[in-house]
Amino acid sequence: MKRTLLLLVCLAPVLAYAQGDELESPGTVLAVQDRTYRMVSELWIGVGIAPLDAFYKGLTGQVGYVYHFSDYFAWQVGRGLLSYNIKTGLRNQLETQFGVSPTAFPQLNWIVGSDVMWTPIYGKTSWLNGSVGHFEVFGTLGGSVINERIAADVASGTGQTVFRPAVHLGLGARIFTSKGVSFRLDFSNEFVIYKGLEANILLVQLALALNFGGTE
Amino acid sequence: MQSATAAAVTLLLALPGLAQAPAPQSTPPAPGSKPPAAAAPAPPAQPTAQAPRPAGAPAPVPAQAAPAPGPAAAPAQAGAPPQQPAGQEPPPKVDPKIFDEALKDYFDNKQEQAARKLYAFIESTPPTDENYAWAQYFLARCLIDLNLRHGGAVYLAKVAHERSNPQVLPKTLEALKVLTLVPHDEALIDEQIFGSLDLGFLPDSVSDYANYQQGLVDLRVGNERWARTHFVKLDEGGVEASRAKFALLVTRLRNAKGVVDDQMIDDFLELSKDEKLTMEARNEARLAVARLRYEKKDYEGALKAYDMVQLPSLDPGRATLYLEEAWTRYNLGQLRATIGLLTTLDAPSFRDEFLPDKYILRALVYRDLCQYLPAKRAAKELTRRFSDSLESIRERDDLTQDFRLRRAANSHGSTKRASRYLESLNLESENLGRHAGGFGDRLYKHLTKIYDLARAEAERVYQQRLRDAVREEADKLLRADEQVRLMEYEVGLKLYERVKRGAKLVQPEKQASLTSAQIAFKFTGEYWNDELRSYRVSIPSRCLEEGAQ
């Protein structure tokens, strides 16, 4: 009983303070604005890298099309990536000094896939207190088909091209520059579904997105 | 809310400002830059062509330019330009070739040297010399390029008054017209030059502007008929014609004395769509439409006119615009939207604005929502914020010394123009000191004298206007203070009113939900200029339903 009373005595000033504040400046204020930029049909083209593999670094080019059902939800109908792979020093060393066959190294060739896109964050930012920029942050989840070259037999140095399914998970941000043009930065990972050599492929990409049918 | 008369006065106060509002196509010459290529190189060729002299030879007319045998000969020259006060050294005689050297310096971007040489030439040459007016013109251009605009204006005004060389006149008037875009000596340029020019001999480029200025002068003294004789001469498709229409409408509004007809509103509306006017002038026309509709109690129409006001991107706009819109919405019963606009007026951009009405309106809204404590607090905020000024008024102090009242008086109308002109003169005077070495002793002393005189006169005019303006602001504050007392009394009664048995709160008003195209940012006290017209307030009413026992 005493504890309850003590608790009530302690809480009373807090409640009174909250009520006093409400009485002095009642209500809440929202800045309600029309969205400056709204995406509808998006065609994008990007360049990036696949930096994770120790034996090669992939320079990637990718195109895709996204249909935005609303400001929050979109379907990345299709995307296709082609990778141009550059040998690392380690691979060169293995090939020249240890006689490992070039075909013994697994590497990414291309990827196609489709995802859903969720855009929970839309915001604006100030540039040097002189202009206002708008941006959004989105996540993607989908499936991909990956074409890789794998080493069939490392000992003999033979390789073969295979298709692998993968789960695509990504996070990206978009900066709007006008009604029709925006730039997006994507970080994504392909979780390759195969008990094999390569478990995942990380991709970093910068893309130019063209929006058709949007409003400003 | 201002009455129609008050609106007319506001517009009239704004009118000279609009008259001098920057025309889109003209820009003042950049300091330190060369004059436009099309305009600048031509003039020096002309005087040289008109006054051909063999290079290196003395001037052919000894009476005009040949070196005089001694200082005693100088006063003998008819109409020698600067009168030498007793005790001052007479100007040294200079070779007339110094004029050509000065022009070369000017076009080589050496304005200081050019100014010194041109002044020496002007001092030692009679006004009848054919290069005399050109020298004055180029001295003015040098001074303007060096950001000594008033000094430049004085010399341009001399050329315009003396008219000794008709070829210099058009360029001089054009340069003067450009100077009207920045704070300038209104008596010298607007009244003594453009207001009194002989319009028959003016080039087309400035005749419209001169006609417009002369019409304005007539309007200001209440002679509309004479003003119209000037305005009818304006090119119908020109900027001045549109500005003249605006000036006439404002005059009609002033003379209407509260009687507003639809034709006047339509005329202002038409003017608000005139692309030849500056954005500021078009906005003034829209505000006039809104104010007139408000006076006719057409609040919806007034809101439409306020919505038409266009602001540049991220421009916070004017506090009076928001306050007037807030009054309009209050009269439409849009209490929460009114509070939204009053939130806008608390933005840092408007913190220094003198808006006693703001506190009254906020208190009225809270009172109507039966939020009595906030209402009382909002009303008292006025007396708290302006306590020093109210004390000064009650003590009958010198109101021009009151910081808030002085700032309010300086923020609009003729006092603002006088204040800005005085400020620019002070800056130019400081700037003059930096050129003391380059100008040489004689020109520096001469310009110092010009600036001292100008500053003394500008200070006198400013103080005169300030005294009248602070009285008006003080009256406004006193009226608001009186309203606050009434409000406090009324709210005090309501606060202690007995609540009837079975009383229930009124049903909360349904808030408009966000559409899919809208986005909401919660306001936490950080103001963004792009949001100033977007605040939406959610505030419950504490009023009780009628019919309780």
**pLDDT tens track for A100-132:** 776 667 788 999 999 999 999 999 999 888 889
pLDDT tens per residue across span A161-171: 888 899 999 99
> B536 vs chain A: nearest CA distance in angstroms?
5
- Residues B114 and B213 grouped into a single domain: no
**Residues in chain A whose beta carbon is closer than 8 A to a beta carbon of chain B?**
23-35, 38, 70-71, 122, 124, 126, 130-132, 215
Q: Which residues of A touch B522 (CB under 8 A)?
A: 28-31
Instruction: Supply the pTM of this predicted model.
Output: 0.72
Q: Measure in Å the smallest separation between the Cα of A159 and chain B Cα atoms.
A: 53
Residue in B with minimal Cα distance to A29: B537
Question: What's the pLDDT at B22?
Answer: 38
Name the amino acid, one letter, at B409: A
Residue B454 forms part of a structural domain: yes
pLDDT at B51 over 60: no
pLDDT digits (tens, 9 = 90+) for B411-421: 888 999 999 99
Give the per-residue pLDDT at B1: 46
Structural domain boundaries enclosing B427: 391-495
- Grade residue A8 by pLDDT with cuts at 50, 70 and 90: confident
Q: Does residue B107 sit in helix, strand or coil?
A: helix
pLDDT of residue B29: 38
Residue type, B495: L
B353: nearest Cα among B403, B417, B411: B411
Q: Please check whether residues B7 and B107 belong to one and the same domain.
A: no
Cα–Cα dist B199/B210, whole Å: 7
Is residue B274 domain-shared with residue B290, that is, in the same domain? yes
Final residue belonging to a domain, choices B265, B282, B310: B310
Domain A36-212 indexed as CATH 3.90.230.10: no
- Token pair of B173 as six digits: 């008037």
| Same-domain check for residues B216 and B166 | no
Is residue B34 located within the same domain as residue B135? Answer: yes
Q: Residues B34, B97: one domain?
A: yes
- Domain boundary among the residues B454, B478, B495 is at B495
How is residue A88 annotated by DSSP?
-
The backbone region for B467, taken as left when phi is positive above 0, alpha when psi lies in -120 to 50, beta otherwise, is: alpha
User: Quick one: tokens of B13?
Assistant: 């106060």
State the Cα–Cα distance between residues B279 and B276, nearest whole angstrom: 9
Which residues in chain B have their CB less than 8 angstroms from residue A131's CB?
A: 314
Closest residue in B to A122 (Cα–Cα): B519
Distance from CA of A171 to the nearest CA of B (A): 22
What DSSP element (H or E) covers B162?
A: helix B149-162
Number of domains in chain B: 3
Least Cα distance to B98 among B82, B81, B113, B108 occurs for B113
| Sign of the torsion angle spanned by Cα atoms B382, B386, B387, B389 | negative
Cβ contacts of B195 within 8 Å, gap of 6 or more: B213, B214, B217
B99 within domain boundaries: yes
CA distance B3 to B217: 26
Query: Looking at the domain assignment, is residue B44 inside a domain?
Result: yes
Express each pLDDT in B83-137 by its tens digit.
Answer: 455 556 777 777 888 999 999 999 999 999 999 999 999 999 888 888 999 999 9
ipTM for the whole predicted complex goes beyond 0.85: no
Say yes or no for a CB contact (<8 Å) between A33 and B514.
Answer: no
Task: Report the range of poorest mean pLDDT among A82-86, A132-136, B19-23, B265-269.
Answer: B19-23
Cβ-defined contact of B374 to A34 (cutoff 8 Å): no
Residues B133 and B262 in one domain: no
Model confidence at B531: pLDDT above 50: yes
User: Same domain, yes or no, for B161 and B214?
Assistant: no
Contact assessment for residue B50 and residue B81, using Cβ atoms and an 8 Å cutoff: no
Pairing of strands A56-68, A73-87: antiparallel
Average pLDDT in the A76-94 region? 89
Q: What's the pLDDT score for residue B431?
A: 93
Chain B nearest C-alpha distance from A181 (Å): 19
Q: Chain B closest CA to A130's CA: distance in Å?
A: 8
CB-CB: which of A33, A122, A215 is closest to B531? A33
- B495, B514, B538: which is the final residue of a domain? B495
Q: In this structure, are B297 and B425 located in the same domain?
A: no
- Tell me if B335 is assigned to some domain: no
- SS in 3 state form for B330-350? HHCCCHHHHHHHHHHCCCHHH
Q: Which of B548, B481, B461, B543 is nearest to B508 (CA)?
A: B543
| B346-373 average pLDDT score | 90
User: Residue A86: which residues within 8 A CB-CB, separation 6 or more?
Assistant: A56, A57, A58, A59
Whether chain A has a CB inside 8 Å of the CB on B373: the answer is yes
Contact state of B535 with A30 under an 8 Å Cβ cutoff: yes
Q: Of chain B residues 522-541, which have a CB less than 8 A from chain A?
A: 522-523, 528, 530-531, 534-540
Say what the pLDDT of residue B27 is: 35
> Considering only A132-146, B56-70, B276-290, which range has the smallest mean pLDDT?
B56-70
What was the pLDDT predicted at A110? 93
Q: Does B191 touch chain A (CB under 8 A)?
A: no
State whether residue B520 sits within 8 Å of chain A by CB.
yes
Cβ proximity of A201 and A37 under 8 Å: no
Tokens of B331: 């009269």
> Which value, in Å, is the radius of gyration of the alpha carbons in chain B?
30
pLDDT at A24 over 80: no
Residues of A in contact with B535 (CB under 8 A): 29-32
What sign for the dihedral angle of Cα B129, B130, B131, B135?
positive
Domain co-membership, B146 together with B168: yes
Residue B69 confidence (pLDDT): 35
Mean pLDDT is lowest, of A83-87, B39-43, B162-166, B321-325, for B39-43
Confidence of residue A157 (pLDDT cuts 50, 70, 90): low
Q: Which two tokens stand for residue A15?
A: 């409640």
Residue B68 lies in a domain: no
**Measured between alpha carbons, how far is residue B545 from residues A23, A47, A80, B505, B510 in Å?**
20, 65, 65, 6, 16
Please check whether residues B168 and B35 belong to one and the same domain.
Answer: yes
Indicate if B1 and B138 belong to the same structural domain: no
Residues of A in contact with B518 (CB under 8 A): 32-35
